[in-house]
């Protein structure tokens, strides 16, 4: 065969040899076959006459490079270290020997490059050594990856986090009255004694914390890149997620969230459970806004070369702490219902609803999102069920001991302060009650008001109607009809004031307030008629024997004695009655004065002179109109006054 020679000008030989080198690299065939093929090619072009030297040179170069890289890897492997120096070198922390670490990573890169470049694939012996070296290197890198993660984990600064949380606190005092057990935790807002409901802890400024020392992130990324390039991404993800999962678990411990089974949660007494629910609410916010966001950012930095690995790593890392939080939420949702739990459950529902939006954006694991939705639905059902049970408890509360002085019943205080708090959750309760309006259908519709009311407003209307009906029944426990009216006036006014002075007014409307004020005026009229009719009857002309000039002194004496007795009896009793509202108290006194004082003054003007000239006149005409007016100022103060106080006062 004749060798063909071509003359393509200067540099053509270099270009041909370069092409030959590329062919050499690209041929994935045994060494002997490649040499035979390239020798055949050289017979066609004399510029390839040195092809054998090229083959040998390339093979020798790859072998030298591999030997050097393998040596570095073996030096860092404790099982193969043959000298004390090597053993000492192996024990050095990765971060404390940056030059050696860089050399090691370069050696790993070299072997991976040689294997990928197929320069040594024709030599089975070298390939076996390469695979062994890669396995050895990956084991070492996995250990270093784990150690760097552990050493550089930044402890959670809970004081800083809690310092950035704003709290809205509403206080309620314990109840002093006779009332059922389910109404023992809330009463008057302005009492010195009480417990606190902290509504919706929320972050001020957005927080961003370092979960890993920033200086170590690049080292972690360099290790992760090598492990992924070598096909060891599974081991890398597992090492990362194990360490970070433990770190997140530790964060929950710092935040006060314990690992508890559903059975353990349900056995906890309310006060202790309330504290755990508060910590859970804070922990969910911190976990979502700070920890998981930080973890997501960290995964993006370390594994930014692969979206799938980033997702897997984040899902595996965050799953543990999220499931721990969800398990507690589930335990609360299926636990025993009681009225005092409602606000905490609503807080838990709200915070988890917000967190669910974040979960769906952060997690690609559908199981996680499905579990969160399930717990959220359970908390919603628990909140709605607790609210409906509270309605039934108000309707059926059957304490039989009347308030002795006609004052505001503890049930009234409890319920109205309770519903004032509920207004803060109007939006949540509207969504929960939206498709559950059967009970509200029993309300009477007036002027089409119900049609424009929200579901929550209708339930409030029903709840307050139940309270009013219960109070009406409790008023029947009073044998004194006047005290019956005072009791209803006090309690209905308290209800109206709580509605009028809060956001409840927007829900129930001004018309509702006007109607209840009208009811209070009717009770006042009934009080005057029931209480003062007998006293006023003593001041009438009938039955005293004609005109003022010839009226029977005996009859007059009896009238004055009867009036005095009636007035003193009312005074003695009703100074012990209580009307807490100063405006209502003053209005009642004015109404009494307008009824009694003019009638007494007129009766005295017509008949008093017939007794004043006789003996013992003071025995019958004991009081002037001014005296009576002064005595009326003592009514409804809640401090019973003995009869001698009246006599002393009149003198």
Higher model confidence: residue 384 or residue 178? 384
pLDDT in tens, 362-381: 998 889 999 999 999 999 99
519 and 546 together in one domain? no
* Structural domain containing residue 477: 408-431+450-528
Residue 7 lies in a domain: no
Task: Name the pLDDT band for 387 (thresholds 50, 70, 90).
Answer: very high
330 and 384 together in one domain? yes
* Three-state secondary structure call for residue 421: helix
Residue 568 lies in a domain: yes
Total number of domains in the chain: 3
DSSP state of 578: B
Higher model confidence: residue 177 or residue 235? 235
Average pLDDT in the chain? 81
Residue 76 lies in a domain: no
495 and 542 together in one domain? no
Residue 128 phi, psi dihedral angles, 5° rounding? -65, -45
Supply the pTM of this predicted model: 0.78
Residues 245, 316: contact at Cβ < 8 Å? yes
Domain boundary among 528, 560, 575: 528
Domain boundary among 475, 499, 528: 528
Q: How far is CA 105 from CA 16, 221, 236, 345, 448, in A?
A: 35, 12, 16, 53, 79
Task: Name the pLDDT band for 167 (thresholds 50, 70, 90).
Answer: very low
Provide the pLDDT for residue 205. Answer: 46
- For the cut 60, the answer to whether the pLDDT of residue 170 exceeds it is no
HSE toward the beta carbon, residue 78, CA cutoff 13 A: 7
Residue 118 lies in a domain: no
278 and 424 together in one domain? no
pLDDT in tens, 27-82: 544 455 555 555 565 555 555 555 554 444 455 566 777 778 788 888 877 555 44
Residues 577, 486: contact at Cβ < 8 Å? yes
- For the cut 90, the answer to whether the pLDDT of residue 272 exceeds it is yes
389 and 523 together in one domain? no
Alpha carbon distance 379, 389 (integer Å): 15
Residue 340 lies in a domain: yes
Tokens 């905490």 appear where? 344
Residue 518 phi, psi dihedral angles, 5° rounding? -60, -40
Number of Cβ within 10 Å of residue 573's Cβ equals 15
DSSP state of 2: P
463 and 556 together in one domain? no
Counting every residue written for the chain, the total comes to: 651
Q: Average the pLDDT over 317-330 and give the result.
A: 95
CA quadruple 449, 452, 458, 464: dihedral sign: negative
- For the cut 60, the answer to whether the pLDDT of residue 1 exceeds it is no
Residue 5: left (phi > 0), alpha (psi -120 to 50), or beta? beta
495 and 465 together in one domain? yes
427 and 390 together in one domain? no
* Three-state secondary structure call for residue 188: coil
Domain boundary among 528, 557, 579: 528
Range with lowest mean pLDDT among 90-99, 320-329, 344-353, 488-497: 90-99
381 and 423 together in one domain? no
Tokens describing residue 574 = 């009703």
List of residues 6+ apart from 203 with CB closer than 8 A: 164, 165, 166, 285, 289
Give the DSSP H or E segment for 165: strand 165-172
376 and 490 together in one domain? no
Residue 564: left (phi > 0), alpha (psi -120 to 50), or beta? alpha
522 and 542 together in one domain? no
361 and 276 together in one domain? yes
The counts of H helices and E strands in the chain are: 27, 2
Residue 563 lies in a domain: yes
For the ranges 435-449, 552-566, 586-600, 605-619, the one whose mean pLDDT is highest: 586-600
Tokens describing residue 92 = 């050095």
CATH number at residue 616: 1.20.1280.170
Residue 62 lies in a domain: no
Residue 401 lies in a domain: no
Provide the pLDDT for residue 267. Answer: 93
Tokens describing residue 432 = 């929960």
* Percent of the chain at pLDDT exceeding 90: 53
Q: How far is CA 532 from CA 584, 591, 647, in A?
A: 18, 11, 21
């Amino acid at each position: 065969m004749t060798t063909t020679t071509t003359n393509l000008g200067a540099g053509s030989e270099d270009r041909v040899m370069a092409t030959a080198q590329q062919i050499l690299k690209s041929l994935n065939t045994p060494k002997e076959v490649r040499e035979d093929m390239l020798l055949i090619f050289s017979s066609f072009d004399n510029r390839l006459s040195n092809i054998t030297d090229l083959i040998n040179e390339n093979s020798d170069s790859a072998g030298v490079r591999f030997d050097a890289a393998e040596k570095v890897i073996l030096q860092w492997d404790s099982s193969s270290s043959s000298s004390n120096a090597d053993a000492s070198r192996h024990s050095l922390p990765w971060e404390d020997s940056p030059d050696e670490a860089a050399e090691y990573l370069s050696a790993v890169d070299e072997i991976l490059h040689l294997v990928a470049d197929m320069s040594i694939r024709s030599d089975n012996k070298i390939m076996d050594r390469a695979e062994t070296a890669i396995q050895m290197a990956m084991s070492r890198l996995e250990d270093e990856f784990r150690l760097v993660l552990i050493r550089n984990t930044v402890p959670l600064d809970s004081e800083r986090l809690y310092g950035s949380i704003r709290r809205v606190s509403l206080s309620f005092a314990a109840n002093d009255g006779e009332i059922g057990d389910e109404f023992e935790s809330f009463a008057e807002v302005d009492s010195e004694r009480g417990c606190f409901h902290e509504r919706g802890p929320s972050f001020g400024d957005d927080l961003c914390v370092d979960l890993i020392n920033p200086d170590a992130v690049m080292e972690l990324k360099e290790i992760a890149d090598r492990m992924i390039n070598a096909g060891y991404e599974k081991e890398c993800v597992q090492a990362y997620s194990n360490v970070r999962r433990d770190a997140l678990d530790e964060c929950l411990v710092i935040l006060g969230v314990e690992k508890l089974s559903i059975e353990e949660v349900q056995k906890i007494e309310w006060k202790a459970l309330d504290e755990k629910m508060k910590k859970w609410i804070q922990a969910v916010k911190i976990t979502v806004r700070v920890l998981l966001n930080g973890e997501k950012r960290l995964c993006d930095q370390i594994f930014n070369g692969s979206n799938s690995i980033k997702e897997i790593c984040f899902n595996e890392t965050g799953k543990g702490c999220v499931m721990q939080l969800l398990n507690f939420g589930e335990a609360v949702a299926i636990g025993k219902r009681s009225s005092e739990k409602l606000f905490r459950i609503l807080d838990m529902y709200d915070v988890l609803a917000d967190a669910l939006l974040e979960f769906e954006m952060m997690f690609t694991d559908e199981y996680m999102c499905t579990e969160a939705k399930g717990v959220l639905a359970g908390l919603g059902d628990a909140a709605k069920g607790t609210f409906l049970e509270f309605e039934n408890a108000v309707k059926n509360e059957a304490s039989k001991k009347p308030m002795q002085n006609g004052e505001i019943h503890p049930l009234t205080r409890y319920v109205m302060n309770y519903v004032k708090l509920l207004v803060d959750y109007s939006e949540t309760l509207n969504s929960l009650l939206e498709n559950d309006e059967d009970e509200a259908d029993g309300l009477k519709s007036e002027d089409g008001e119900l049609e424009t009311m929200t579901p929550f407003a209708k339930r409030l209307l029903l709840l307050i109607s139940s309270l009013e009906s219960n109070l009406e029944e409790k008023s029947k426990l009073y044998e004194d009809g006047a005290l019956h009216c005072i009791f209803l006036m006090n309690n209905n006014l308290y209800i109206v004031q709580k509605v009028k002075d809060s956001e409840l007014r927007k829900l129930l409307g001004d018309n509702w307030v006007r109607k209840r004020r009208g009811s209070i005026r009717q009770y006042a009229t009934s009080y005057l008629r029931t209480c003062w009719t007998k006293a006023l009857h003593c001041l009438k002309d009938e039955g005293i024997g004609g005109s003022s000039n010839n009226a029977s002194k005996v009859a007059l004496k009896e009238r004055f004695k009867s009036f005095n007795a009636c007035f003193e009896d009312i005074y003695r009793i009703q100074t012990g009655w209580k009307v807490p509202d100063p405006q209502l108290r003053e209005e009642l006194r004015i109404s009494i004065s307008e009824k009694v004082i003019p009638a007494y003054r007129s009766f005295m003007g017509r008949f008093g002179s017939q007794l004043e000239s006789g003996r013992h006149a003071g025995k019958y005409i004991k009081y002037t109109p001014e005296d009576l007016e002064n005595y009326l100022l003592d009514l409804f103060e809640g401090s019973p006054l003995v009869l001698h106080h009246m006599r002393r006062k009149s003198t």
